[in-house]
């Protein structure tokens, strides 16, 4: 079972983080900088037919660990309780001597004439379908739905009086992931 860390007494790190999926707070866990990612309010998603867990900390945690199951390097994450909410805490892997670059920044530094580029030249903002399909094919064979189900089942139903993943939502996560695999990814192979 996944343990929910008590992050209530963690000091602020003084670091700040961007992004669009909700409030982020720089905190120190055992002297190391981490990012506490809070759940985004879903009031602006009303009427857009998006599930309310789109930006939830539990989904962030599960997504990171699903990628890890596929062999993709990911940042260290944990679920925690802070400021009366369940958060996804992510170790700041850029501290102290690294920097995270957005894909468009890296792409702008490369030449479309370099080896490995077989699509039309880009402007650095566009992600070409051929590149996406190549990436999907690399990792689709590694999908182990039993391991993913076990991961989802390891999240407790509640912690600190907050519901994390009800049984119906747990089953919905599994159903949607299976559907995305069977109807979205496998037909591409």
The label of the residue with tokens 């309310």 reads 52
Closest by Cα among 34, 17, 39, 25 to 77: 34
The answer to whether the beta carbons of residues 185 and 140 sit under 8 Å apart is yes
90-112: average pLDDT: 69
Average pLDDT over residues 123-127: 59
Q: Which two tokens stand for residue 138?
A: 């690399």
Give 99 or 55, the one with higher predicted confidence: 99
Contact (CB, 8 A) for 63 and 76: no
The residue-averaged pLDDT of 24-30 equals 95
Which domains, and CATH codes, for the chain? 5-100+143-188 (3.30.200.120)
Average pLDDT estimate for 175-188? 84
- pTM score > 0.75 for this model? no
Residue 79 near residue 87, CB atoms below 8 Å: yes
């Amino acid at each position: 079972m996944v343990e929910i860390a008590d992050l209530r007494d963690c000091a602020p790190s003084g670091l700040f983080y961007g992004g669009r999926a909700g409030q982020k707070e720089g905190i120190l866990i055992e002297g190391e900088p981490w990012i506490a990612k809070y759940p985004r309010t879903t009031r602006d998603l009303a009427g857009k037919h998006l599930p309310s867990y789109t930006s939830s900390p539990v989904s962030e945690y599960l997504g990171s660990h699903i990628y890890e199951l596929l062999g993709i390097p990911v940042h260290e994450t944990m679920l925690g309780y802070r400021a009366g909410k369940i958060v996804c805490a992510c170790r700041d892997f850029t501290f102290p001597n690294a920097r995270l670059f957005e894909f468009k920044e890296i792409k702008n530094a490369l030449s479309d004439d370099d080896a490995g580029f077989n699509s039309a030249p880009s402007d650095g903002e566009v992600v070409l379908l051929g590149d996406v399909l190549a990436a999907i094919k690399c990792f689709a064979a590694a999908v182990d739905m039993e391991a993913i189900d076990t991961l989802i089942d390891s999240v407790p139903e509640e912690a600190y009086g907050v519901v994390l993943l009800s049984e119906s939502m747990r089953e919905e996560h599994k159903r949607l992931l299976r559907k995305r695999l069977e109807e979205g990814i496998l037909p591409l192979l």
